[in-house]
Chain A
């Protein structure tokens, strides 16, 4: 394969600056320390999937405890050892599981796994570039992520247990090892892991931004970019602006934990010990955390929406409806996401006036979000919908985006947040709008671009089965939580048996757990399909979905530099599906305009 690329590099030396050096890829440079964006994308995907399996498995374990609190399950002792004596989960382990589940799903699966995979795979291929602006930095970015994942996994095995103060790690709980076992070595490793993660994420994001701005092929103006690329670009900008703030928050927390500073600590007596810290404020941490934390929601969601735009347009065989409005709404959401973080803090003791301001900015986000939802639905209208597994997941995403987004109107309202803050209503809201939508976007992306990644096709029937089981169980898990939340049930409770008022919620908890276990097991179908198809799936044709974008003009066999010949020139936007005056129902972006045809 390398030789092949090499020959072409010579043939087209004048337009190819990439592969001049004589080198033969060995195992290490090809699969491990690769600087090829396509290989790095696969590395991100497989690492993200590995972390995802851990994260989802953890949720199944703590759902057992929630449905049948205090009951003995031998499986718990098998996996948790001393943290589940006689198969009964320890409360500290319960908190550790929800904490690590949140951390892994938010950062490792839906940030690195989603953005890392598809930004890497699609940015160069869809804008018509030989590779990322810096292949080396791209490789470094992945290895920071890999190291960060390794540290996070190692933290699961320390004596005092992994971090367990919630994925938001609010101090003083996370700052004081005396306050809970998980705030000891586990928390230190959590901070180390997140620091590595942020470093990797920043390097990656800078690379994505530079690549999109500088390396677009001839004719690929910003208003001809596929919406995927717009989403990845804006996501990368959000990451570059917000992740450093989390890094500073984490560093100050490290100082408070290890060097006796008082950024977040003041007047504390914990387990009978009076601390000397004076003058700090935990609210400062909350501000810093959510200044990242809220944009993070969109760092997760925007790539999924970008993927959906592409998949829905392709499989409806129609242009995405309102292309410019879609770009506008991405930009509006991104801008607003920086001025809404306070809606996570309405009842923290923040000045009530700020509550009003954040209510106003937060509810504004509903407007661009509504535009996106309506535009997706209008794209389906009068389409010729091809139900590939990717398309099913994209339609699922629109459904969850709407169902979860609407409850945001309740939670974003400071007055209403008072009584549902930190209840299961919040758990329902963010899992549906962010968790499910993003994971559906990720599944859609994997089903759609698997042929591009591995040169083989995934099995369609298994894809259908996977979608329906996942879709039904996902709603089965999270929809009932609205009701337990409105009953006042707080999240992060190890058991709700201590409050008689919650006794009648137990049946609902059992139903949720059944769906959680069913939905979790259904993911085995996907994992099997993924690895089976990787080795034994039927060979992929060059353009299996009859798509317009440039990645389908590259050969199925990967080669370093992407196109064997010259990089194709772009003559039109990515959405000329079913355009009148053309024989086929798709017109690839590199097709020259016909006489008298209007350019987009």
Chain B
């Protein structure tokens, strides 16, 4: 009832305001829609003000929010990735800082006035040639640099045989399968899923016997790891942001991605940048009464996969070769469990 009264009053007020507005615009000499010199002046100044504010806001955000972005990469190719990212970012930020101020400056500088006459200036081939060729040259550099990095990431040269790990995705959890002593994954297919054989390993395949199925990923530092991805139901994406790695898990096929972890979880927790980040996070968590957080690598799902897509995660631990060997020895083999 009160809502209704408020609504009625609001409508009545609005109608009165419109009437006042209409009467006042009738009294005016020039029509309301005509852009006057005063409008041009006001809007021109607003443009300049916005331009300055925009650039100031940009630097404020950079200063305030750069620390919340991902810390240093924890993989070998991640360093190349970050270099390429930094160079590309510098190029686009430079362009941004040149073009945006010019745009808003021109809008202010050439704001209209009755006594001003615009310059008839149709085209200038040399100018247009310059701003075709300069972006082309800059892009050529970025394209070559990008393609080289991509090629290195996707076709790594292996001096030592990579450790093979299968990452298996299903709504809404991850499972890992280590290839065991032979470093060969046994055949698997979702059609073979039965009872305890939850990811469909072919128990008749001799290479499968030593495979180890785990609920956490442990990686030895400094050793290349070849991840092979499968999905049980819909498309998922295995996203390892700390390692600058990502690959979709597609039902009906196997995909892969290889990287070499270079920083152990323990070392990462000692990094000053990470410690500052963890301190900030724990301050927030403390205020909310949540348990304290220690920095961990994590695997996320990054392709919409259903209602609990937002909470499909697995912990990743990077550790020394010895710690890794100890942990792996504790994991049961397929021969033992199935």
> In chain A between 35 and 78, which residues have their CB closer than 8 angstroms to a CB of chain B?
none
Bound-state CA distance A416–B124 (Å) is 36
Contact indicator A504/B142 (Cβ below 8 Å): no
Contact indicator A532/B18 (Cβ below 8 Å): yes
Bound-state CA distance A409–B277 (Å) is 29
Known A-B contacts A283-B250, A503-B285; A416 and B146 likewise in contact (beta carbons under 8 Å): yes
Bound-state CA distance A324–B128 (Å) is 11
B205 within 8 A of partner (CB): no
Looking at the complex, which one of B32, B61, B255, B281 makes contact with A483 (CB distance below 8 Å)? Answer: B61
Instruction: Give the segment of A4-12, A166-174, A240-248 that binds chain B.
Output: A166-174
> In chain A between 469 and 523, which residues have their CB closer than 8 angstroms to a CB of chain B?
471-472, 475, 479-480, 483-484, 486-488, 490, 492-496, 498-501, 503-506, 508
CB-defined interface of B271-306 with A at 8 Å, one 1/0 digit per residue? 000000100110011000010010100101111111
Contact indicator A325/B110 (Cβ below 8 Å): no
A252 within 8 A of partner (CB): no
B119 within 8 A of partner (CB): yes
Known A-B contacts A415-B150, A422-B303; A536 and B247 likewise in contact (beta carbons under 8 Å): no
Closest chain B residue to A582, Cβ basis: B120
Contacts of B85 in A (CB 8 A): 410, 416
Closest chain B residue to A533, Cβ basis: B33
Bound-state CA distance A577–B113 (Å) is 16
Bound-state CA distance A266–B254 (Å) is 12
A274 within 8 A of partner (CB): yes
Contacts of B147 in A (CB 8 A): 356, 359-360, 414-415
Contacts of B311 in A (CB 8 A): 495, 498
Bound-state CA distance A480–B250 (Å) is 32
> In chain B between 223 and 250, which residues have their CB closer than 8 angstroms to a CB of chain A?
229, 232-235, 237, 239, 241-242, 244-248, 250
Contact indicator B70/A91 (Cβ below 8 Å): no
A352 within 8 A of partner (CB): yes
Looking at the complex, which one of A322, A349, A458, A471 makes contact with B248 (CB distance below 8 Å)? Answer: A349
A468 within 8 A of partner (CB): yes
A24 to chain B, nearest CB (A): 33
Closest chain A residue to B140, Cβ basis: A363
Contact indicator A92/B307 (Cβ below 8 Å): yes
Contact indicator B250/A370 (Cβ below 8 Å): no
CB-defined interface of A384-420 with B at 8 Å, one 1/0 digit per residue? 1111100010010011001100110110011110110
Contacts of A269 in B (CB 8 A): 190-191, 193, 200, 232-233
Contact indicator B92/A406 (Cβ below 8 Å): yes
Bound-state CA distance A380–B44 (Å) is 12
B163 to chain A, nearest CB (A): 20
Most chain-B Cβ atoms within 10 A of its Cβ — which of A267, A395, A468, A544? A267
Contacts of A318 in B (CB 8 A): 118-121
Contact indicator A460/B39 (Cβ below 8 Å): yes
B20 within 8 A of partner (CB): no
A383 within 8 A of partner (CB): yes
A396 to chain B, nearest CB (A): 9
Known A-B contacts A352-B150, A421-B246; A387 and B81 likewise in contact (beta carbons under 8 Å): no
Known A-B contacts A360-B147, A367-B135; A498 and B313 likewise in contact (beta carbons under 8 Å): yes
Instruction: Give the segment of A124-132, A193-201, A371-379, A589-597 that binds chain B.
Output: A371-379
A213 within 8 A of partner (CB): no
Bound-state CA distance A506–B33 (Å) is 43
Contacts of A459 in B (CB 8 A): 32-33
A18 within 8 A of partner (CB): no
B337 within 8 A of partner (CB): no
CB-defined interface of B149-193 with A at 8 Å, one 1/0 digit per residue? 111011100000000000000010000000000000000011101
Closest chain A residue to B306, Cβ basis: A180
B273 to chain A, nearest CB (A): 13
CB-defined interface of B290-332 with A at 8 Å, one 1/0 digit per residue? 1001010010111111111111010000000000000000000
Contact indicator B120/A577 (Cβ below 8 Å): yes
Contacts of A490 in B (CB 8 A): 239, 300-302
Contacts of A150 in B (CB 8 A): none
Bound-state CA distance A317–B98 (Å) is 25
Closest chain A residue to B33, Cβ basis: A457
Contacts of B253 in A (CB 8 A): 266, 281, 283, 349
A579 within 8 A of partner (CB): yes
B261 to chain A, nearest CB (A): 15
Bound-state CA distance A461–B17 (Å) is 15
CB-defined interface of A336-370 with B at 8 Å, one 1/0 digit per residue? 00000000000111001001100110011011001
Contact indicator A493/B251 (Cβ below 8 Å): no
B149 to chain A, nearest CB (A): 4
Known A-B contacts A172-B235, A179-B306, A490-B302; A267 and B191 likewise in contact (beta carbons under 8 Å): yes
Contacts of B70 in A (CB 8 A): 419, 486-488
Known A-B contacts A173-B305, A367-B132; A265 and B153 likewise in contact (beta carbons under 8 Å): no
B102 within 8 A of partner (CB): yes
A375 to chain B, nearest CB (A): 7
A321 within 8 A of partner (CB): yes
A95 within 8 A of partner (CB): yes
B220 within 8 A of partner (CB): no
Bound-state CA distance A319–B305 (Å) is 51
Contacts of B301 in A (CB 8 A): 490
Contact indicator A415/B132 (Cβ below 8 Å): no
> In chain B between 86 and 129, which residues have their CB closer than 8 angstroms to a CB of chain A?
88-89, 91-92, 95-96, 99-100, 102-104, 106-107, 110-113, 116-124, 127-128
Q: 5 tightest A-B contacts by CB?
A: A266-B252, A488-B241, A349-B255, A387-B43, A352-B154
Interface residues in chain A, defined as those with a beta carbon under 8 Å from any beta carbon in chain B: 90-92, 95, 165-166, 170, 172-173, 176, 179-180, 265-271, 274, 279-283, 316-319, 321-325, 347-349, 352, 355-356, 359-360, 363-364, 366-367, 370-371, 373-375, 377-378, 380-388, 392, 395, 398-399, 402-403, 406-407, 409-410, 413-416, 418-419, 421-423, 457-461, 464, 468, 471-472, 475, 479-480, 483-484, 486-488, 490, 492-496, 498-501, 503-506, 508, 532, 536, 538, 544, 575, 577-580, 585
Q: List 15 A-B contacts (CB under 8 A).
A: A95-B304, A170-B234, A176-B234, A321-B123, A373-B99, A382-B110, A386-B35, A414-B146, A418-B246, A480-B65, A499-B300, A538-B25, A577-B118, A578-B118, A579-B120
List 15 extra interface pairs beyond A95-B307, A483-B61, CB under 8 A.
A170-B234, A172-B234, A268-B190, A317-B118, A367-B132, A374-B128, A380-B110, A382-B121, A392-B43, A399-B104, A415-B149, A416-B81, A487-B70, A500-B290, A508-B68
Interface residues in chain B, defined as those with a beta carbon under 8 Å from any beta carbon in chain A: 18, 22, 25, 31-35, 39-40, 43-44, 46-47, 50, 54, 57-58, 61, 65-66, 68-70, 81, 84-85, 88-89, 91-92, 95-96, 99-100, 102-104, 106-107, 110-113, 116-124, 127-128, 131-132, 135-136, 139, 142-143, 146-147, 149-151, 153-155, 171, 189-191, 193, 200, 229, 232-235, 237, 239, 241-242, 244-248, 250-253, 255, 277, 280-281, 284-285, 290, 293, 295, 298, 300-311, 313
